Amino acid sequence: MDKSQEESKLLPRDSASPDVIPDEAESGEELDAEELYARAQLEDDEIPGGDEETKVVLLPVNPHLLYVYWEFSARDLEEMSRVFSRLGPRARPVLRFYETQTNPDSLNSASCLEVAIALSAGKWYVRLEHPADSYCLDLGIYLGQGSFRLLARSNVAEIPKVCPSDKREERYFRVEGNQSPAEVVAAPAQGSSASRSAPSEDKTQAPPGRLLRSGEASRSAQAWVEPPGREVNGPEHRGAWGSFIASAGHPGEEAELAVQPSASYSRPLYDGSEDDGAIDRELERTRLSRGAPEEETQRQLAEFSRQRSWDRAWWSPGVKDREESQAAAELRTDLTDLSERSFRAGLSSGQKSS
């Protein structure tokens, strides 16, 4: 490659993006480039503020934690200042949460809960023990004598689900190429084993370990605001989360579900050697072991090394050559349950945290 070709490679291909390359530039151009960059970076740390309308925004962090932030217009800020100087502590700012399935105009006020806040914080984290499907909230202030001043209403936020649905309706689409989805009348008759061991459609009994659903327990909420510099997902938060879960009836986290030291970490799921409850315990034990002390980690590693003989399959559903209870067989053919349990057992093992 001759020099002119080499230089042309260094130039931007798009005329809309004139580029300067300090390493390659002539000395005079290098000075220009430095000036250009120096000027470009001035005030980069300053984010200009806005002066918009008063807003409150609701974002779910996870199924049990909501993040709320709010901003005031200059006019509302002045008014708030007047209210607080007039009423003092009698002025009580709150977040008022509503469960909502549709739109915020048809809120059921009977189902609301309130969280007292400090307006100056600008943000708040709210923990929900038994979340509904979706929420919106009002930011407002009690002015004394039952009077409530609404400042802003939030967006509607859908809350993530904590477990598979019990609804077993089957509808099917056919989607081909760029065509619109077309509903087909019945399930596709594909393959040779269509109904060999399909689960019963009328499965009203929930699988073992089913989590409490929205509405099965009284609603309650805890809230806090993060002091400056404190991270939400630190140990304190985690501890609070854990203790809450234990009271919510999640499988495996209750005290009586003791860890079984002899169980293998990487034992295949559904190997049929234990009853359903034991499967739950194994999964949850694995999940709990994420925060295990060093010796437990070492034990798991040793166990894993022992298991790591390469002629052995990790994934072995064990449906062959084994007598099973009908319930266990049904459970194995519930592929959503299989997927979900496998996911929970490996939760965080393949996920990003840092």
Partner 1 sequence: MSTGYLSIIFHAHLPFVRHPEHQDSLEENWLHEALTEVYLPLLSVLEGLVEDGVDFRLTFSFTPTLLSMLLDPFLQSRYLQRTERLIALAEKETERTAQQPEFHRLAQLYHQRFLNLRDAFANRYGRNLVEAFRKFQELGKIEILGSAATHAYLPLLSLNPSAVRAQIQTGIAYGEQVFGRRPEGFWLPECGYCPEVGRMLSEEGIRFTILETHGVTRAEPRPKQGVYAPIYSPSGLAAFGRDPESSRQVWSSVEGYPGDYDYRDFYRDIAYDLDLDYLRPYIHRDGIRLDTGIKYYRVTGKTNHKEPYVPERAESKAEIHAGNFILNRQRQVEYLASVMDRKPLIVAPYDAELFGHWWYEGPAWVNHLVRKIASGEGSLRLITLSEYLEEYPINQVAAPAISSWGYEGFNDVWLNGSNDWIYPHLHRAARLMEKLSDGQCRPGPLAERALAQARRELFLAQASDWAFMINSGAMTEYATRRTKRHLSRFFRLGEQIQNNAIDESLLQGWEVQDNIFSSLL
Q: Which of residues 88-117 bind partner 1 (CB under 8 A)?
A: none
According to CB under 8 A, which residues from 249 to 288 bind partner 1? 265-266
Q: Note whether 310 binds partner 1 by CB under 8 A.
A: yes
Binding to partner 1 by residue 352, rule CB under 8 A?
yes
- Rank residues 150 and 347 by Cβ distance to partner 1 and give the closer one: 347
Q: Which residue in 29, 33, 143, 299 binds partner 1 (CB under 8 A)? A: 33
Q: What is the nearest approach in angstroms of partner 1 to the Cβ of residue 85?
A: 26
Contact call for residues 97 and 114 (beta carbons, < 8 A): yes
* Residue closer to partner 1 (CB basis): 151 or 345: 345
**Residue entry with tokens 């169980």:** 263
Residue with tokens 């009908």: 326
CB of 326 to partner 1, least distance (A): 14
Site membership for partner 1, residue 148 (CB under 8 A):
no
State the angle between helix axes of 276-288 and 326-333 in degrees (0 to 180), rounded to the nearest 10.
Answer: 50
* Chain residues 116-145 in contact with partner 1, contact rule CB under 8 A: 123, 125
User: CA 97, 247, 250: angle at the middle one, nearest 5?
Assistant: 95
- What one-character DSSP code corresponds to residue 181? P
313 touching partner 1, by CB under 8 A: yes
Kindly indicate which of the ranges 96-104, 140-148, 272-280, 315-323 contains the residues binding partner 1, using the contact rule CB under 8 A. Answer: 315-323
Backbone phi and psi for residue 5, each to the nearest 5 degrees, phi listed first: -65, -40
CA end-to-end distance (rounded Å), the chain: 43
Among 3, 120, 315, 326, binds partner 1 (CB under 8 A): 315
Scanning the structure block, which residue is given the tokens 């019945």? 186
Question: Using H for helix, E for strand and C for coil, what is the string for 68-86?
Answer: EEEECCHHHHHHHHHHHHH
Measured distance CA(93)–CA(118) in Å, rounded: 7
Q: How far is CA 343 from the centre of its chain?
A: 14
Q: Is 178 in the site for partner 1 (CB under 8 A)?
A: yes
Among 168, 239, 273, 322, which residue interacts with partner 1 (rule: CB under 8 A)? 168
- From 85-93, 245-253, 254-262, 334-342, give the range in contact with partner 1 by CB under 8 A: 334-342
The residue from 74, 116, 150, 184 that contacts partner 1 (CB under 8 A) is 184
Verify binding: residue 191, partner 1, rule CB under 8 A: yes
The encoded tokens of residue 104 equal 């915020």
Q: How far apart are CA 281 and CA 275, in angstroms?
A: 10
Residue with Cβ nearer partner 1 (164 or 249):
164
Enumerate residues 57-86 that contact partner 1 by CB under 8 A. 57, 59-63, 65, 67, 69, 71
Query: How big is the chain, counted in residues?
Result: 354
Residue for token digits 């409150």?
56
